[in-house]
Amino acid sequence: MSVVDGKAPQAAGVPERSGARTIVDTVFRARELSIVAALAVLIGVTAAANSNFLSGQGVTDILLNTSILALLAVGQSVVVITRNIDLSVGSVVGLVAFVTGDFLASGGSMPLGILIGVAIGAACGVVNGLLVSFLRVPALVVTLGTLYVVQGLDHYIAHGRQINAVDLPPAMLALGNEGVLGVPYLPLIAVVIMLAVGYYLRSYPSGREFYAIGSSPEAARLAGVPVRRRILAAYLLSGALAGLGGVLWLARFGTVIADSAQGWELTVVSAVVVGGVAITGGVGSVYGAVLGALLLTTIGSALVVLRVNPFWQQAVTGALLLLAISVDRVLALRVARLLRKRNVRHGS
Amino acid sequence: MSETGASRPIIALKDVTKSFGAVSALRGVSLELYAGEAHALAGENGAGKSTLVKTLAGVHRPDSGTVLLHGEPVVFHGPADAQAAGVAVIYQEPTLFPDLSVAENIFMGRQPRAGLGRIDRRAMRAETAALFQRLGVGLAPDQPARGLSIADQQLVEIAKALSRDARVLIMDEPTAALSGNEVDRLFGVVEALRAQGCAVLFISHRLDEIFRLCQRVTTLRDGAWIASEPVEGLTHDDLIRRMVGRELDALYPKQDTTPGEVALKVERLTREGVFTDVSFEVRRGEIAALAGLVGAGRSEVARAIFGIDRFDAGKVTVNGRELPPGSPTAAMGAGLALVPEDRRQQGLVMDMSIERNIGLTGLAALRRGPVISRAAERDRARDWALKLRLKFARLNDGVGVLSGGNQQKVVLAKWLAIGPSVLIVDEPTRGIDVGTKAEVHRLLSELAGQGMAVLMISSDLPEVLGMADRVLVMHEGRITAEIPRERATEESVMAAATGRAAA
């Protein structure tokens, strides 16, 4: 009987090395590991069916395709961890890609162009953040609104035009398609940003406060956490990364029309949730989110290689999302039960 | 007013007024907290104690009047300001982050730093372990806060407040969920802090604790200041009179009844790792108390009986009908009602109005054709609000604006409205003021008198002894004793609850 087992460490009077924490850790690490495992299976099966899948070009394509999604997923996970959501990122990517392209095509300097792109993204983020944190409008509604506003703005500016790759400075296109030592720049940028944000969230007091807010907003307020400032910061980051994503989108594709990343916000949210960031906030990591982005992109490529009807790609993404959420729920119940069995002995 | 300790209070409120909409929570209240003094704040629920605490904590800003810190007026713009001024608060309802570890919960917002401003996790863990050692708590720093019992959550809150090295420690009902041992340890720590020159503000509905811990007491009634006086020389009755403004009828108005046939029968109920082999009966017209220490598995038994949790073995019979496991709907259909322990989380939908909350258990009965009749819902709510003497402004106010005692009445109304034959109440008077407590007791007694079978889970020993016809005592998931009213004493119940006697 486990009730009896539990008496030994309790009686010792010294806090035992918590088994409970280890369980929780394992569960969440298990999430990241299970994505890696799913990736391995997917790649294995696809490569067996078509050896081209693992050719240098095939891998490079997957990495390039993942990078922008991963970047957006990093920003999105910070927002989701605070129990909010940012649906405007797809529109922001489109707007920034077009405006930056317009600026560079008319002879603007590249560093300034990148800066403008990121600044536009950050500005959109600030608008979202102010509306959500200070006016206390639900994030879903606010960012749905800004999604359409930014989209409209993009169409207004574009006015049916398109940016052509030939008009862009070659250095810009190089940024999107070349690399160092065979590794393209895009995934490098995504990885660096992921590591930086991941480290910040884990190791800095202000980083932990994002989790605190998502876990219990009221408790965070009582603990003196500057809730509104942090939420604003989360949106600022998400917006700025969407801006950077827009610049990289331009660099990667060269030719862009208005609202070129339409619908991406949902892919980003899917990647984040598949990657183990709880949509209810407080749980998850940017590493998981990036792995989620990698998994979704790889599935897309694999289905193409396996000549599956593209229709199935969305269905698979959807199924994966449902699976991820179901697994989360089952795990949460398991953990809760384990914790309960432990804690029933504490009240002495 | 007498002055003890230092000549100037560390923190004080002067003529503070605070209203929420039409409800005035505080009206011209003054309070002075001195270094080295434990000051009790007494008053019924809804008297304004929690508002006063939140004003000191920087959560609320007074509409008029001032907060004085070392005699100087200050304005706290938020909880962070008050914390910076050395005010630490243990709130009535634990405010933890379920997804974070216990150590992170304690140090959120002011984690120990390593190089480059990073969190020093090792120091954080070590300090947490030290705090738990000091409180004699067997929790691990790395354990997540999710799943902690209310008592453990409360202990984490206490550790959090202690870790702040506060000049002013405010405790809003810290002991409500704690067992005797834990209360003793807490008081030991508080005494030590007081000796170091900390000012303590203590709120408890257990008057004994006020007399044991505090030197001075301030009483509030309906948001107004009644008295500030030394505890010495006061009696329980004096204090109660100041709090309620009238003489109380007996706090435990138990009517004598003759038990009828068995209404609830529980046989060999077992849930792995939670409780084992629990068997008992409750008869019509009888109040059976389920006593025991926090964590003995009492609430879990209640949850299993009602079908919220599944059980692994055993049988529950209500009025001769066996209940299917894991179905609250079936339990309700059989005439069972459960008033849960945590009214904010489990008893009420906090965002909904009083009438909607009361209507929730009887939506089928409130239906007129395919739609819910607002009028029927309102009638039902008004009916019960009057019967239970609920204090409210309007029935369509959110339950969140009610005081704890009145919220509990709403939960009771919600369940009594289905006309149950067996009522299970889990800690019915936890965090409720003396006045409402007596009302709840009278109500339970009347219900039993009308032939209802009442199973009352309670950690409040006087309540158990005062109200129960029969006391069932649980210890570590088993029923260790069944004591009839005549033989139930503080000693016999505690002995069984701590597993010292196999009665």
Considering only alpha carbons, which residue of chain A is nearest residue B58? Answer: A222
Chain B, 301 to 330: residues with Cβ < 8 Å from chain A are: none
Q: Provide the pLDDT confidence category of residue A3 given band limits of 50, 70 and 90.
A: very low
Residue A4 covered by a domain:
no
A215 contacts in B (CB within 8 Å)? 97-100
Contact between B179 and A348 using a beta-carbon 8 Å cutoff? yes
Distance CA B424, CA B427 (A): 10
Q: Which residue intervals of B61-206 are DSSP H helices? A: 79-84, 102-107, 121-135, 150-163, 180-195
Measure the CA angle with vertex A10, ends B124 and B122; round to 5°: 15
Q: Which domain holds residue A109?
A: 20-341
Most trustworthy range by pLDDT among B176-185, B290-299, B475-484: B475-484
Considering only alpha carbons, which residue of chain B is nearest residue A343? Answer: B148
CB pairs under 8 A between A and B: 158
Residue A10 covered by a domain:
no
Q: Provide the pLDDT confidence category of residue A5 given band limits of 50, 70 and 90.
A: very low
Alpha-carbon gap: A226 to the closest alpha carbon of chain B (Å): 8
Q: Is B294 on the interface with A (CB under 8 A)?
A: yes
In whole angstroms, how far apart are CA A164 and each of A103, A161, A168? 12, 10, 7
B138 contacts in A (CB within 8 Å)? 9-10, 13, 15-16, 346, 348
Closest partner residue to B151 (CB to CB) among A224, A283, A347 is A347
Tell me the mean pLDDT in the region A141-167: 93
Closest partner residue to B147 (CB to CB) among A212, A218, A343 is A343
Alpha-carbon gap: B13 to the closest alpha carbon of chain A (Å): 20
Question: Which amino acid type is present at position B61?
Answer: R
Q: Which of B317, B288, B321, B325 is nearest to B473 (CA)?
A: B288
- The 10s digit of each residue's pLDDT in A114-137 is 999 999 999 999 999 999 998 888
Residue A35 covered by a domain:
yes
* A188: enclosing H helix or E strand: helix A185-203
Distance CA A93, CA B41 (A): 57
Contact between A222 and B57 using a beta-carbon 8 Å cutoff? yes
Contact between B295 and A344 using a beta-carbon 8 Å cutoff? yes
Strands (E), B141-261: 168-172, 199-203, 216-221, 224-230
A279 contacts in B (CB within 8 Å)? none
Residue A6 covered by a domain:
no
Question: Which amino acid type is present at position B428?
Answer: P
A305-309, B86-90, B332-336: the lowest-pLDDT one = A305-309
Alpha-carbon gap: A208 to the closest alpha carbon of chain B (Å): 8
pLDDT at B328 over 50: yes
Tell me the mean pLDDT in the region A50-71: 87
Mutation target vs B (from A4, A83, A343, A345; most B CBs, 10 A cutoff) = A343
Which domains does chain B possess? 11-96+148-244 (3.40.50.300), 249-335+420-503 (3.40.50.300), 342-419 (no CATH)
Alpha-carbon gap: B84 to the closest alpha carbon of chain A (Å): 10
Please measure the distance between the N-terminal and C-terminal CA atoms of chain A and give it in whole angstroms: 18
Alpha-carbon gap: B336 to the closest alpha carbon of chain A (Å): 25
Distance CA A103, CA A99 (A): 6
Structure tokens of B223? Answer: 């948001």
Q: Do strands B216-221 and B38-42 pair parallel, antiparallel, or not at all (unpaired)?
A: parallel
Concatenated DSSP letters for A77-129? HHHHHTT---TTHHHHHHHHHHHHHHHHHTT--HHHHHHHHHHHHHHHHHHHH
Closest partner residue to B97 (CB to CB) among A212, A342, A348 is A212
| Coil, strand or helix at B125 | helix
Interface predicted TM-score of the whole assembly (ipTM), two decimals: 0.78
Cβ-in-10-Å burial (0-12, 13-18, 19+) of A191 comes to: middle
Name the percent of chain A lying above pLDDT 90: 47
Structure tokens of A28? Answer: 């969440």
| Coil, strand or helix at B226 | strand
Specify the number of domains making up chain A.
Answer: 1
Count CB neighbours of A218 within 10 A: 12
Mean of per-residue pLDDT scores for chain A: 85
In whole angstroms, how far apart are CA B411 and each of B164, B341, B349, B444? 36, 11, 10, 14
A284-298, B22-36, B61-75, B442-456: the lowest-pLDDT one = B22-36
Q: Provide the 8-state DSSP code for B5.
A: S
Note the pLDDT of residue A321. Answer: 77
Contact between A208 and B119 using a beta-carbon 8 Å cutoff? yes
Note the pLDDT of residue A340. Answer: 61
Mutation target vs A (from B56, B93, B97; most A CBs, 10 A cutoff) = B97
Structure tokens of B21? Answer: 């909409």
Concatenated DSSP letters for A191-206? HHHHHHHHHHHHHSHH
Tell me the mean pLDDT in the region A59-74: 92
Note the pLDDT of residue B224. Answer: 87
Distance CA A124, CA A293 (A): 23
- The 10s digit of each residue's pLDDT in B351-382 is 888 888 888 888 878 888 888 888 888 888 89
Considering only alpha carbons, which residue of chain B is nearest residue A224? Answer: B80
Distance CA B89, CA B69 (A): 16
Note the pLDDT of residue A30. Answer: 66
The CATH number for A46's domain is 1.10.3470
Contact between A204 and B118 using a beta-carbon 8 Å cutoff? yes
B151 contacts in A (CB within 8 Å)? 346-347
Contact between B273 and A221 using a beta-carbon 8 Å cutoff? no
Residue A77 covered by a domain:
yes
Backbone phi and psi for residue B342, each to the nearest 5 degrees, phi listed first: -105, 95
- The 10s digit of each residue's pLDDT in B393-438 is 888 888 888 877 888 899 999 999 888 999 999 988 876 777 788 8
Residue A126 covered by a domain:
yes
Contact between B149 and A343 using a beta-carbon 8 Å cutoff? yes
Contact between A215 and B98 using a beta-carbon 8 Å cutoff? yes
Note the pLDDT of residue A2. Answer: 36
Contact between A347 and B273 using a beta-carbon 8 Å cutoff? no
Size of chain A in residues: 348
Contact between A205 and B99 using a beta-carbon 8 Å cutoff? no
Alpha-carbon gap: A237 to the closest alpha carbon of chain B (Å): 20
pLDDT at B48 over 90: no
Q: Is B97 on the interface with A (CB under 8 A)?
A: yes
Question: Which amino acid type is present at position B227?
Answer: A
Residue A46 covered by a domain:
yes
Contact between A211 and B99 using a beta-carbon 8 Å cutoff? yes
Q: How far does CA A39 lie from the centroid of its chain?
A: 17
Contact between B79 and A224 using a beta-carbon 8 Å cutoff? yes
Q: Do strands B422-426 and B336-339 pair parallel, antiparallel, or not at all (unpaired)?
A: parallel
Cβ-in-10-Å burial (0-12, 13-18, 19+) of B86 comes to: middle
Strand partners, B389: none
- The dihedral region occupied by A255, where left means phi > 0, alpha psi between -120 and 50, and beta the remainder, is beta
pLDDT at B92 over 70: yes
Tell me the mean pLDDT in the region B258-265: 89
Contacts of B388 (CB under 8 A, 6+ apart): B409, B412, B413, B416, B439, B443
pLDDT at B145 over 90: no
Q: At what angle do helices A56-81 and A286-305 cross, to 10 degrees?
A: 140
Concatenated DSSP letters for B426-465? ESTTTT--HHHHHHHHHHHHHHHHTT-EEEEE-S-HHHHH
Contact between A3 and B477 using a beta-carbon 8 Å cutoff? yes
